[in-house]
Structures are given as C-alpha cells and as structure tokens.
Structure 1
Amino acid sequence: MSTNQRAHDLDRQYVFHSWSAQAALDPLVIAGGSGSEVWDFEGNRYLDFSSQLVNVNIGHQHPAVVKAIQDQAATLATVAPAAANLTRGEAAERILARAGEPFSKVFFTNGGADANENAIRMARLHTGRDTVLSTYRSYHGNTGAAIVATGDWRRMPNQYARGHVHFFGPYLYRSEFWASTPEEESARALHHLERVIQSEGPATIAAILLETVPGTAGIMIPPPGYLAGVRALADKYGIVLILDEVMCGFGRTGRWFAFEGYDVVPDLITFAKGVNSGYVPVGGVAISAEIAADFDENVFPGGLTYSGHPLAAASIIGALDAMESEGIVENARRVGAEALAPGLAELQEKHPLIGEVRGEGVFWALELVADRGTREPVAPALIGQLKKELLARGLLPFSADNRIHVVPPCVVTDDEVARALAIYDEAFSAVR
C-alpha cells in the first residue's frame, strides 16, 4: 500500500470532518508544502490558491516561523496563562504596535471563533446590554455565540445562544436596497442598519459585529463611507463596534489590518489565521484602553488553558517579524494590484460564467452565474466540476456557494499568479 493510500484510508476510517456528510468524502492527501505549493506523497504538486482555509498568509513552512516554534519548544513548551511569559508579552506587543491607538491589551484565544466569543462577552459587560447585531452574509466561527452571530445556513442547526439579531450589509451585485451605485448601496445599507437599531431598541444593543471585509460570505469590499457610517451609528447609540479581522487581517488585503483602508477604528479587533498563518492554533482580541479599563478592578469572567500558549506566541513573533522584514504585506498589495486584478478581469471578459470579480490584495472572489443578465447563480454541480478541473491541473481551489475564491498566500509570486491564471482559464474553458 502506498503512503498516499495509507494516509487516505486512515483518514476515512478514523477522522470525522467538519461541515460534511461523511460517507461521500474523498479528501486530498497533503504531505508537505513550501511557499505557495503543497504536494502529496507521490510527488503531485498543487498551487495552493486556497491558503488552506485562507490562513497560510506567510506561505507553507516558512523557515523563520518553523525555527521560532522549534526554539520555543526547546526552551519552554507550555506555561499556564496566569504566569508572565516573555514570548507571550512580545507577541502582544507586536500585535498592538500594528493595531495602533486606542488598543492597549491583547486577550489570547485558541482561534477566531473564541476570539469573537470573548469580544462579544467584553462588549456585553462593558455596555450592560445584551443584543449583538451582525449581518446575514457573515461567518464568525463555530462556538456558541459566534455561530449564532454567523449569518449563513450554519447557524440554523445551532441556535443556542441568546440575543442575536441579523441585518443586511452592503452587497451591490445582489443589492437588497435596489441600489445602482456603490454610494447608493452604502447610504441605503446604513439607513437600514439604523432602522434595525431603532426598532430593536438602542438601549438593548451591546455590539455591532462585522467582518471588515466579509470572507467566506463572498469577499464583499465595503462601499465608500459604509464602515465609517457604521462607526458613527455605534457612537451615536453607545454601541461597541467589533471588527472581525480573523480572515481579512495580517496582510490578506495588502494591509496589516483591513480596516486601515476604510476610515474606521473599532473598539475591539478579533484576529487569528494570518497572525501566525495557522502554524500553531491561536487567536485573540485586541482591546481598546477604555474597555480594558473595565477589568482593572472587576474580574473578567473568561479564560482558556492555552491562552497565550508559548509555542503559539513564538509563531506570532516569527511570522510578524518575517512579514515585516521581507515586505510580505507589501507583496500582497502589489501582486493584487498588478497581477491578480488585471488577470482576473481578463478571465471575466473571456468567460461568461464569471459574473463579477471583486477583491483586493490576495483576497478575491469570482462570482459565477448561469446568466449575466439575470445573475442566476450557477448550480452546485458546476462548482464541483470546476474544482475537479482545477485540481487535475495542479491548483488547490477554495469554493463557497457559487463562487471560487482566489486567495493565495501573501508570498505568492508573479510567476505563480501567471501559472494559476492559465489554470483557471483552462478549467473555465473545460466546463462551459
């Protein structure tokens, strides 16, 4: 039996996969990776234009991050969160240096879902209110409050948390507001949000929780003035603004934080994924000084055994230092503007299946339609066929609903983008 087959068989016999009906699964075996590529035990190589779960921002097996983890493991592999640990403190210092004012503290978690969970808890304690507003097109994680804050179908079997209300965010391609321009979409979406706030009762609302740039929901770039308008509404009604940067943060949009491009500063930032590219599970909340001060004398009623785990903290230091010294965030911005944007626009012009291209940095979505006039989404079977065509040509895709997301690591090169664009072109030609 080949090693590939053994890995596949062990997975199918013993591993229970997330978000899946188990019987029909046929997972791809991945044995190793480097930069923007992964491979199996038989030497089949794939351009990873999924970044796994849009988290391997620094690329696979970056030597600086691997060494940071190895060195920390040799020094101190684990320590309780109540202790002071130099590595943890330096990781927090680096994150806050990127976040800027008014952020003063970091609460570390095990991932993005529990980052959002604890940000919600902080907002409720800070305001003395209960309700959390979030959009229908969103994903915030798979824990109690985070999954109910999520707007897609995954919350429906998991409605166990209290106090969540959803509203429609801007999405001009499929506008809920009969808008015809980005400016109209922004103004009407803000009017809708304010009416939801007023109708729910401002004095009941603790937080507005938004992905700065919604990721799994479709990489919808906020229209002009929208996030600044949300900030103004939050201030008007005394509501905490939480920006979920779990997927869009740390280089993904070509900026350290996505919100830096939208004239907005939140009260709480949630992060995970790109902060260390997933080499060790970690996430966290960057907390404004005002909210952090609430817990100077009052106990914060939350904690995790692995909060600020030293291996995770070391991986953050290794990742952020390498991203800075190697210009990786700048590379993501440049590649997005100079290679991905024009290349994907050419694909759209050539292939009628592509109804809209949207994104920035290394964070793009191709929305696929059966008819450009009606914008009817393509059938799921076509997405499945397209994924097979891409894999057969050596590209690992990321798909969601009727979309293919183009989300390579931030270290992707121009040559790799050119190879990927040629593969996308061939795959679209094969399925039309």
Structure 2
Amino acid sequence: MSSTAQVITVDDPTAPVGAGSTGAELDAAVIAADHSRVFHSWSAQAHLPAFSVAGGQGATLWNHAGDRWVDFSSQLINVNIGYQHPKVVAAIKEQADILTTIAPSTANLTRAEAAGKILSHAPAPFEKVFFTNAGADANENAMRLARLYTGRDKIISRYRSYHGNTGAAVVATGDWRRIPNEFARGHVHVFGPYLYRSEFWATTPEEECARALHHLERVIQAEGSETIAGILLETVPGTAGIMVPPPGYLAGVREIADRYGIVMICDEVMAGFGRTGSWFAFEQHDVVPDLITFAKGVNSGYVPAGGVLISSPIAHAFDERVFPGGLTYSGHPLAMAAIIATITAMEDEHIVENAADVGATVIGPALTALADTNPIVGDVRGTGVFWAAELVADQATKEPLPASRMAAIKSACLAGGLIPTIADNRVHVVPPCVITPEEATHGMQILADVLNEEAGR
C-alpha cells in the first residue's frame, strides 16, 4: 500500500476537485474538499478520517492512486450484494428510463413487485410492506404501528442496541448516542443477554438466557404491562457487538410478549437479507415477530430504501382507519427496482448460502483459532458474515483494549490491504455476502497478522 497522501487545502468551495492531478494527488484533493465542505455524521469535524474511495467491485475497493482493499466492513454493514453488482446496476438504469419517481399514493408495478419479493421470504403471517427511506424511519414507523395497534404508549428496547438517528429511533437506541438526543417520550430500556460481560452473574448460556428473560418480564410488570405497546430488539445486535442471542431467548421474548399483549418488533435492518446466513436472522431462532423492520441489505444501499413488514392482524387494523404516517419517497421506483434485482440475484446466485458457508468454513474457524492463540482476543462470536472479535488487554480481567491500540490495529489493517470495522474494543468482521472463500481467507490472514503483531507489542 502507498502512504497516505498529504491533505491539501481547498480555499474555494466552488472549485473543481483535483483536475489534472495524479491519482495520489486526486485522493488528497478529494479528502481536502470533503473535509472543507461536508459535515460528517458522528464526528468531531476537526478530526475526520483521511480515506478516499474511487471505486469498487464485489468485495474489493480502491482509491484513485490504485491502492486496493478487501472490504471487511460492507461500509455500514449494508453492501450485502457487494459493489457494482451488474444486475442491480442494470435494473436501476432500466427503471430510470421508464419512470424515475412517483408519489407513494399512486399504484406502481415496480413497488408492488418489490413488496412481493420481500414478502416471499417472510413467514406466512406477514401480508404487507410499508416502505421507508432507511432503517431509522422503518423503526419509527414500526413503533408507531405498535402504539396505534395496541393503544398503549411505551416501547421497551435494550441497552447495547442501535435503532437509528431519528427522533424515537435514537431514543430507543441503547448506546451513548441516545443521551444527547433524548427528546422522545415513552421509552424504557432493559439489558439483553451478553454472556461475555454478563449483567446477571451468569456462567452458562442457559443461565444468561433465563435471567435476561426474567429481567425483561420484571421490567414489564414494574412499568405496568398495560402501558407497553412494543418490544423492539435487534434480532442480533450489530453495532453493539454482534451478540447472537443464546438458544431460547427470542422464543422467550415471544412468549412474554404474547402473555401481556405486546407487539414484538424484530429490527432486521442490519441482520436481514443474508447477513447472518439466512434471509432473516429470526429464522435461526424458531420465532416469528409481529413486525419486521429492514433496510441496508435489501438492496445494499444502491438506492436508499427501508421498510416495515406488517403481519396480517396489524395490517388489517388499518383497513378502515387511516394510518397517520407517510414519506414522499416511500417506495421510490429506483429503490424498488434495486430491491427486485438484489433479491433475484441473491436467489439465483445463492448468495445467502454463500454467506452461511463462508462464515462456517472460513471466518468462524479463523476467529476461533485467534481466540485460542492470541492473548488480546477475549471473545469471538457471530454467524454468517456477521462476526466480532472482542479485544482485551487482559483475558482474565476482560479489560478492554484501549482506544490507542484499537486505532493502531485499524491503521495496520488499512496499510495491509484490509478495511476493518472498529467499534469500541472490537473488530467486526462483516464483509459483503458475496465474498469468496479465497477473499475471506486472504482478509482473515491480514487481520490475524495485524492482531498477532499487536499482541507482541
């Protein structure tokens, strides 16, 4: 890999970027223009990353200078079908020639077909799809549906979760981002299962499951079960650490929800459409929720789209009652065409099965080997192409590896040709679902080399 080009200053905000430059100069100019003109999310604006991407294909990205990386991030864990899949690109172009946009109040063939494609992979109780622009507003509208359907107010969600950056979704979120944005009402948080750092003094998955369910039910009782509209949970918490629930946990949540007449909402925004090695993550846990939210992998973000899968009882509750919600771009034709092409390609090319296989034969075993031999790897967990390695300074105390060392790991991965996802003291291994076993093996070797070198410091 070449060294990072020096960032240059762009004084004129209207100036063209990098005209006539070499590749490295163009990367530097792009970074400088971006930093001077773009306000970045979740960032202190004086401390932005110096990383430019010019193009990509499959599970590989490159910059203008020609440096190439295996992508173990899928950007924001959304590019499930990989970069520039030709069938999805062609579908967007074809739809653009037919109709670029239409209001959601209008019946549209592409929208109806996209809904049908999504529903074809959902269990029988699901009948309709409400389309949104992304995952955050999908969760907003799922919570709205639960409240209107039950006539109740409160939503229970978990600490160690992320549900989006809109008003209620960010308050349902269980990490630090909730705290400066806590303006929505009616939200209650509980701890979910996380055996490696158990809140319940558990030593086995069975104990962690039983005690987490007991905690959930006691909170419902203490809050007043008649006030709880919905339980919103990421089927597999993603940003919080890719914590696959222990056997029986989701089924237990389903039983509790039924006992108290509460709507169960599975947030599959990150976990859905192949990420866990199945179309939906809840399929692996013998449970069917009442509402399913989705986005990201449904069309890999080629055109922004999300939505809510609505089960029959909730859908028909609005047959004669107006649902008070909507978005200008709900079911946007370009996004719908991308959904149809993405799901069709995933079916035809067995991409979901590939994600399951690569996780089981390459990523999982490689991470397990690291956990067995590397003293800074405290825990590994995951499924499909949805894995995390939790890094510690001391395996006995589980003290998290400090931020300075995590930053060094990220830099070393990039220098070695791998784009990692770093979250707190974890490396998330979340490549596109199309990654080949050979690419995954190469990426895991880079990661292993970096972690082994860091362990020897």
Residue 100 of structure 1: how far off its partner (Å): 2.2
Alpha-carbon distance in structure 2 between the residues aligned to 1:38 and 1:359: 24
The equivalent of 1:363 in structure 2 is 386
The equivalent of 1:201 in structure 2 is 224
Unmatched segments (≥5 aa) in structure 1 = none
The equivalent of 1:58 in structure 2 is 81
Alpha-carbon distance in structure 1 between the residues aligned to 2:442 and 2:283: 31
Residue 421 of structure 1: how far off its partner (Å): 1.4
The equivalent of 2:106 in structure 1 is 83
Unmatched segments (≥5 aa) in structure 2 = 1-20
Alpha-carbon distance in structure 1 between the residues aligned to 2:50 and 2:251: 42
The equivalent of 1:46 in structure 2 is 69
Alpha-carbon distance in structure 1 between the residues aligned to 2:430 and 2:49: 23
The equivalent of 2:176 in structure 1 is 153
RMSD: 0.7
Alignment deviations for residues 226-260 of structure 1 (CA, whole Å, 9 cap, x no partner): 00000000000000000000000000000000000
Residue type of the alignment partner of 1:66? V
Alignment deviations for residues 359-385 of structure 1 (CA, whole Å, 9 cap, x no partner): 000000000111111111111111111
Residue 431 of structure 1: how far off its partner (Å): 1.9
The equivalent of 1:315 in structure 2 is 338
Alpha-carbon distance in structure 2 between the residues aligned to 1:419 and 1:350: 19
Alpha-carbon distance in structure 1 between the residues aligned to 2:376 and 2:76: 24
Residue 417 in 1 paired to residue 440 in 2? yes
Q: Does the 8 Å contact 1:389/1:430 carry over to 2?
A: no
Residue 117 in 1 paired to residue 140 in 2? yes
Report matched runs for 1:10-49 at 5 Å. 10-49=33-72
Alignment deviations for residues 380-407 of structure 1 (CA, whole Å, 9 cap, x no partner): 1111110000000010010111100000
Alignment deviations for residues 312-365 of structure 1 (CA, whole Å, 9 cap, x no partner): 000000000000000000000011111111111112222111100100000000
Alpha-carbon distance in structure 1 between the residues aligned to 2:222 and 2:50: 46
Matched residues, percent identical?
Answer: 66
Query: SS of 2:337's equivalent?
Result: helix
Query: SS of 2:121's equivalent?
Result: helix
Q: Does the 8 Å contact 1:69/1:311 carry over to 2?
A: yes
Alignment deviations for residues 159-184 of structure 1 (CA, whole Å, 9 cap, x no partner): 01000000000000000111111011
The equivalent of 2:213 in structure 1 is 190
Alpha-carbon distance in structure 2 between the residues aligned to 1:339 and 1:173: 23
Residue 393 in 1 paired to residue 433 in 2? no
Alpha-carbon distance in structure 1 between the residues aligned to 2:123 and 2:232: 20
Residue type of the alignment partner of 2:147? R
Query: SS of 1:99's equivalent?
Result: coil
Partner residue of 1:350 out of 373, 395, 398: 373
Alpha-carbon distance in structure 1 between the residues aligned to 2:372 and 2:88: 40
Alpha-carbon distance in structure 1 between the residues aligned to 2:205 and 2:49: 41
Alpha-carbon distance in structure 2 between the residues aligned to 1:406 and 1:141: 21
The equivalent of 1:337 in structure 2 is 360
Query: SS of 1:254's equivalent?
Result: coil
Alpha-carbon distance in structure 2 between the residues aligned to 1:7 and 1:127: 50
Alignment deviations for residues 48-79 of structure 1 (CA, whole Å, 9 cap, x no partner): 10000000000000001000100000110001
Q: Does the 8 Å contact 1:4/1:29 carry over to 2?
A: yes
Query: SS of 1:116's equivalent?
Result: helix
Alpha-carbon distance in structure 1 between the residues aligned to 2:380 and 2:338: 34
Residue type of the alignment partner of 2:61? V
Residue 18 of structure 1: how far off its partner (Å): 0.4
Alpha-carbon distance in structure 2 between the residues aligned to 1:161 and 1:293: 28
Normalising by structure 2, what TM-score? 0.94
Residue type of the alignment partner of 1:199? A
Partner residue of 1:163 out of 172, 183, 186: 186
Residue 429 of structure 1: how far off its partner (Å): 2.5
Partner residue of 1:326 out of 327, 341, 349: 349
Partner residue of 2:154 out of 125, 131, 135: 131
Report matched runs for 1:255-294 at 5 Å. 255-294=278-317
Query: SS of 1:46's equivalent?
Result: strand
Residue 430 of structure 1: how far off its partner (Å): 2.7
Residue 376 in 1 paired to residue 378 in 2? no
Normalising by structure 1, what TM-score? 0.99
In the TM superposition, structure 1's runs of 4+ consecutive aligned residues that sit over 6 Å from their partners are: none
The equivalent of 1:5 in structure 2 is 28
